[in-house]
Structure 1
Amino acid sequence: MADQVATCAICGTTTAASRHRRARYCSNACRQRAYRQRVNEPGPALDSFIGRDAELEGLARSDARVLTLVGPAGVGKSRLAKEFAGNRAAWVDLAGTSDVAGACAQAFGRRADEPVLSTLVRELNRNTLLVLDNCERVAADCAALLEPLLLGCPELRIIATSREPLRVPGEVLFAVEPLSITNAVELFADRARASQVGLRLGEREALAALCAKLDRLPLAMELAARLVTVLPVAELLNRLDDRLELLNRGNRTAAERHQSLRAAIGWSYDHLSAEEQHVFRCISQGPGGFGLDGAVQACDLPTDRVLVLLSALVAKSLLTFTGTGRFEQLESIRLYGRERLAEQVRRGQTPAANR
């Protein structure tokens, strides 16, 4: 029987397949590349994905070549990108690197003697979807890399997850908001019941109040759900003013910044400039909402400077502008700011002294 026509699963090259076996790859090089992609892409999720149907539809409708998922710590940007991209994308996690181009090239197995950009252009002309996860600490380097990649790979689309925009030409921002209260309750109940079979959670009103208090952030609710084996929901709700101390039992295999709510918010705070940290601490003293005049009074800085710094905090998903002249903070983020302010006071520093 004559050989059948087949195509390589990696590069699409036509190959010969015998009567008994259809070859998946045209060469050892493509076989090794497929292995590297399996190693670098995130594996299948081991827990259920709840809510976000509207977000998935919105991502599918977008034709932006650079679509950046932005939002605060713990809101679920990476998980949403994972659900959307599935196994269609080349995936690069940038959380632990300062070399964006090198991390991308390494994911594709660049040879030591091969230029980084040449490797990426060649490989990304075969992969039309690239996910860059956790870009916030290397946003400038991401921006510097993306423009030549987009010019060299006309079919390439990039999904980025970041707590702040990359600010590259053609970028479209996709704001990932906290879950709706209905989906938040569903997520909390799902994770709580996974902690103990047959667990009784009590009234839905108490669950809704708990999720609202946790800002409807998926990470916060998943961490809180681990405590229902030792605290009833009503008592847990009463203790949430101390949530940064309580919510510290993440999955053992999760990244360190997702092991606790404090670490998740601290990942953003530690990346702020000294002035931005000063404003962040000062505005945490008040309630969740405030105007520009209140921020100027709290920060003891000129109005124009405060406005610039508030804008930076909005861009970095630590603050929200309502559009009516007021700013708002999630309660978990505000409590973190108060904690850092209290540390400063204990060291004998006034807020102004540490600008």
Structure 2
Amino acid sequence: MADQVGTCATCGVATSRRRQVRYCSNACRQRAYRQRASEPVTALDSFIGRDDELDRLGNLRDARVLTLVGPAGVGKSRLAKEFATGAVRVELSPESDVVQACATALGVIPALSALVRALTGRTAVLVLDNCEHVTADCAALLEPLLLGCPGVRVIATSREPLRVPGEVLFTVQPLPLEHAVDLFADRARANQLGLRLDDPDVLAALCLRLDRLPLAIELAARLVTVLPVAELLARLDDRLELLNRGNRTAAERHRSLRAAIGWSYDRLSADEQHVFRCLSAFPSFGLDLAVAACDLPADRVLAVLSALVTKSLLTTSGGSFEQLESVRLYGRERLAEQGSG
């Protein structure tokens, strides 16, 4: 008999599956989605294709520090917003004083001691968004805050782990293909009312070429007013030039695909940038090829590859490394610039 693992989030009936689930049936799942749709609007556009992730995040609600990690443009911030409705949200920038930003969000004096006093005895969720540029400051805040405030949980978004005690990592993956296509269609029709999208193979190819990244897909959808979808697909080798019409209110690093990837690249060490550029010539590679291409000692290359994986610029599987196509195209740009410099 399957072990009991919890109760359904909709009806409260005990669930008895070995894999933890949020709902006992599809009917309860659909009822929850309808209820969510009737709640006050917290975003100006629709949220598409992350229901499975929301289910899995629901099983991690007890984590004191839950960090959503993943590459630029994968949708970490939006997923955190949908998951942690009602939480205190702190959006961080490179110039942020983390303690001051949190204090401002909570309306207290900008001091760590004041934060701890304000949250002692309270049950609260604090969302720290875009932590990758202030990871050390976040770590310095979190340990004393969590030790002093046992009812506080933190959800962070970052392109790399915070590396603090008790941290649980949740890797945000690119959208499944069918949801990537749904996202493109939704945003494209919002940009051009009455648009017909009647070639599913072209739509699927477009989303695959865009690495199924929500940011890239949304930027591409803005171009349907000037380019047919098939022509847009044909021009994706130039995507870093094309995909540059993000929301005016977005942070600068989210207004173009080049800026989003460049944000990560600019924060690499000199060796990390060198390895990143050299390996942009290869869709997939192993350690031996990486050592030969980078002209560095094997132990140094391995350390850098590990760092690039941690910073969401490489993925690894079965002993080989890969880059998203958009990331690789950015690396090739930097490589060409280095060669002509």
Q: Counterpart of 1:236 in 2: which secondary structure?
A: helix
Residue 121 of structure 1: which of 108, 113, 116 is its match? 116
Residue 313 of structure 1: which of 297, 302, 308 is its match? 308
Q: Counterpart of 2:223 in 1: which secondary structure?
A: coil
Tell me how far apart the structure 2 counterparts of residues 210 and 57 of structure 1 sit (CA, whole Å).
Answer: 28
Is the Cα contact below 8 Å between 1:102 and 1:116 reproduced in 2?
yes
TM-score, with normalisation over the residues of structure 1?
0.82
Is the Cα contact below 8 Å between 1:163 and 1:316 reproduced in 2?
yes
Which residue of the partner structure matches residue 36 of structure 1?
none
Which residue of the partner structure matches residue 292 of structure 1?
287
Tell me how far apart the structure 1 counterparts of residues 94 and 265 of structure 2 sit (CA, whole Å).
Answer: 17
Query: Structure 1 residue 343 and structure 2 residue 337: aligned?
Result: yes
Tell me how far apart the structure 1 counterparts of residues 95 and 141 of structure 2 sit (CA, whole Å).
Answer: 14
Residue 258 of structure 1: which of 220, 235, 254 is its match? 254
Is the Cα contact below 8 Å between 1:71 and 1:164 reproduced in 2?
yes
Which residue of the partner structure matches residue 84 of structure 2?
85
* CA deviation vs aligned residue, 1:250-279 (integer Å, no higher than 9, x gap): 011111111000000011011111111111
Q: Counterpart of 1:228 in 2: which secondary structure?
A: helix
Tell me how far apart the structure 2 counterparts of residues 259 and 296 of structure 1 sit (CA, whole Å).
Answer: 35
Which AA in structure 2 matches 1:305? R
**1:198, distance to aligned residue in structure 2 (A):** 0.2
* CA deviation vs aligned residue, 1:291-344 (integer Å, no higher than 9, x gap): 00111011000000000000000000000011x110010000000000011111
Residue 148 of structure 1: which of 135, 144, 150 is its match? 144
Tell me how far apart the structure 2 counterparts of residues 124 and 266 of structure 1 sit (CA, whole Å).
Answer: 37
Is the Cα contact below 8 Å between 2:108 and 2:118 reproduced in 1?
no
* CA deviation vs aligned residue, 1:125-170 (integer Å, no higher than 9, x gap): 3351000000001111111111101100011110000000000111
Is the Cα contact below 8 Å between 1:90 and 1:127 reproduced in 2?
no
Segments of structure 1 that go 5 or more residues without pairing to the other structure are 1-42, 348-355
* CA deviation vs aligned residue, 1:207-248 (integer Å, no higher than 9, x gap): 000000000000000000011111111111110000000000
Tell me how far apart the structure 1 counterparts of residues 82 and 119 of structure 2 sit (CA, whole Å).
Answer: 21
How many residue pairs get matched?
A: 299
Tell me how far apart the structure 2 counterparts of residues 329 and 200 of structure 1 sit (CA, whole Å).
Answer: 33
Give the structure with higher Rg (CA): 1
Residue 205 of structure 2: which of 209, 212, 225 is its match? 209
Which residue of the partner structure matches residue 225 of structure 1?
221
Tell me how far apart the structure 1 counterparts of residues 268 and 255 of structure 2 sit (CA, whole Å).
Answer: 21
Is the Cα contact below 8 Å between 1:188 and 1:222 reproduced in 2?
yes
Superposition RMSD on alpha carbons, in Å?
Answer: 1.2
Which residue of the partner structure matches residue 100 of structure 2?
102
Query: Structure 1 residue 272 and structure 2 residue 254: aligned?
Result: no
Moved over 3 A (4+): none
Segments of structure 2 that go 5 or more residues without pairing to the other structure are 1-40
Is the Cα contact below 8 Å between 1:121 and 1:153 reproduced in 2?
yes
Q: Counterpart of 1:248 in 2: which secondary structure?
A: coil
Is the Cα contact below 8 Å between 2:94 and 2:134 reproduced in 1?
no
Which AA in structure 2 matches 1:67? L
- Written as runs of structure 1 = structure 2, the 5 A alignment for 1:17-96 is 44-62=42-60, 63-87=62-86, 89-96=87-94
Stretch moving more, 247-256 or 100-109? 100-109
Q: Counterpart of 1:227 in 2: which secondary structure?
A: helix
Tell me how far apart the structure 2 counterparts of residues 121 and 230 of structure 1 sit (CA, whole Å).
Answer: 53
Tell me how far apart the structure 2 counterparts of residues 174 and 102 of structure 1 sit (CA, whole Å).
Answer: 27
